Amino acid sequence: MAGQEPFDIFVIGGGINGCGIARDAIGRGYSVGLAEMNDFASGTSSGATKLIHGGLRYLEHYEFRLVRESLMEREVLWAMAPHIIWPMRFVLPFHKGGIRPAWLIRLGLFLYDHIGGRKLLPATKTLDMRRDPAGKPLKPLFTKAFEYSDGWVDDARLVVLNARDAANRGAEILSRSRVISARREGALWAIDIQDGKGGPLRRVTSRMLINAAGPWVDRVLSNAVGKNQVHNVRLVQGSHIVIRQKFNDPRAYFFQNPDGRIIFAIPYERDFTLIGTTDQDFTGDPKDIRITDAETDYLCKAASEYFAEPVRREDIVWSYSGVRPLFDDGASKAQEATRDYVLKVEGEDGAAPLLNVFGGKLTTYRRLAEHALEKIGEAIGSKGSPWTAKSTLPGGDFAPTGYEAQVAELKSRAAFLTDRHARRLVRLYGTLARKIICNAESIEALGRHYGADLYEAEVRYLIEQEWARTAEDILWRRTKLGLNLTKTEASALADDMQELTARCVA
């Protein structure tokens, strides 16, 4: 990097907002660099409830602009990435004397159906839970429900596919590279970067700096940029539990709790059910985030209020937590803090500009990037025009309703794949699944079998194309096969990663 021309923009942070901004900017003709101190989506962006949704509960806090923008994005994102994003129906049970009256729920769902430009997603309907299969896993108290549409996303893959597309278009994308310092030198930023192995510092320069470090955004301002006493974000912990499949239905549940909060119970990775999330203030180091005993008890108790068969601690096979970096709007409760994003530019009188990104959510990341590009254009001059709304992410170049056709096409190419294996590959890689299979004529041709349906060919692809360097990258972010592999199988993969990486990136 030494001696190269200055970047137009340099992004700190490889979560959804940083990668989304980098992709949009490179597509408009800016030169772009990005550094992520760990793996992509290793923080907040893989700790979500994994929904592409309008945010029904945000209506209660009068966040109509955020809800409308989110609703409008659902089908845009679905068309961009139909392999990792797909529609899901949600069942909202209610009963007399519940926390929210039926008329209020109906009003919210009417707005949900009509303010967001819905085209392909089906409208809300009322269910008789005594007859509908959705009522079977629940307590008999719940005789009615509303069923509405939202979407599901593989959050970590959404991040890495934005990074991959940015790199394909010419961006300099660096994983496991920490920004040690960023100092203004006249009209440029001088940025010192160190790789995760503790190597020598490398310096790059950039006309503009983008701070999209998520929960670390204030820390970047304090430690790297050198500003004192900054407090822009409110850190809120959200935790989830995963249990063995609780119900055999493709629909998810929206549960209302007596304390006013809500949780979801969602079909997950075919054999499991995902339950979450919690909302509580967090004051520690985001890298140390873990579900607490109180959160575990809360989720089990809240779900057990609805399910006929209680959810117990011993049912939990995995849990994960994320820290949401919400813009600190002074809300008294964590669940009331705004989920909207705030973009602030610093740098007057010819000083190199800095854009700080606060808050945001998966569903609105593309619009956040567009708004960021407006501010970038104002600061250093506009290039190109908005383009991502009609684009596709890598592997997503097929119709939103074309998943089954893609599965059939892959199975016709590789008849040795089981139906389950083919479906998983298309869900993760879309049309790029054929690159993993390549010219293989048997399952043995895919190389070493690591457990479940993970083979060496897929591992190599993830190392070469998606910056995977550890077994954790592969088992818990690029895929969720950590739920299916034994400890012995996972250890075997971990043992091979260094050698495979050396071979694949040599």
Q: What is the pLDDT of residues 421-436, one digit of tens each?
A: 999 999 999 999 999 9
Mean per-residue pLDDT of the chain:
92
Residue 348 confidence (pLDDT): 76
Q: How far apart are CA 305 and CA 321, in angstroms?
A: 22
Predicted pLDDT of residue 175: 96
Q: What is the pLDDT of residue 260?
A: 83
- What mean pLDDT do residues 48-58 have? 86
Decide if 159 contacts 41 (C-beta within 8 A). yes
The one-letter amino acid code at 495 reads: D
Q: Is the pLDDT of residue 91 over 60?
A: yes
Q: Report yes or no on whether pTM surpasses 0.75.
A: yes
pLDDT attached to residue 62: 66
Q: Is the pLDDT of residue 498 over 70?
A: yes
6 and 29 Cβ atoms separated by less than 8 Å = no
pLDDT tens, residue by residue, 258-301: 888 899 999 999 999 999 999 889 988 898 999 999 999 999 99
How far, in whole angstroms, is CA 27 from its chain's centroid?
21
In angstroms, how far is the first alpha carbon of the chain from the final one? 19
Q: What is the pLDDT of residues 404-463, one digit of tens each?
A: 999 999 999 999 999 999 999 999 999 999 999 999 999 999 999 999 999 999 999 999
Q: Pick the closest to residue 256 from 177, 399, 138 (CA basis).
A: 138
User: Residue 334 pLDDT > 60, yes or no?
Assistant: no
pLDDT at res. 506: 67
Alpha-carbon distance 386 to 354, whole Å?
21
301 versus 102: which is more confidently predicted? Answer: 301
Given this model, what pLDDT does residue 233 score? 83
Residue 460 tokens, joined: 């190599």
pLDDT at 2 over 60: no
316: nearest Cα among 288, 275, 280, 269: 275
Which pLDDT does position 1 carry in this prediction? 44
Q: Which of 58-67, 155-164, 262-271, 372-381 has the lowest mean pLDDT?
A: 58-67
Q: What is the pLDDT of residues 194-227, one digit of tens each?
A: 998 778 899 999 999 999 999 998 888 887 676 7
pLDDT tens for each residue of 148-181 = 999 999 999 999 999 999 999 999 999 999 999 9
- Give the chain's largest Cα–Cα span: 71
Q: Per residue in 224-259, pLDDT tens? A: 676 765 677 889 999 999 999 999 999 999 999 888
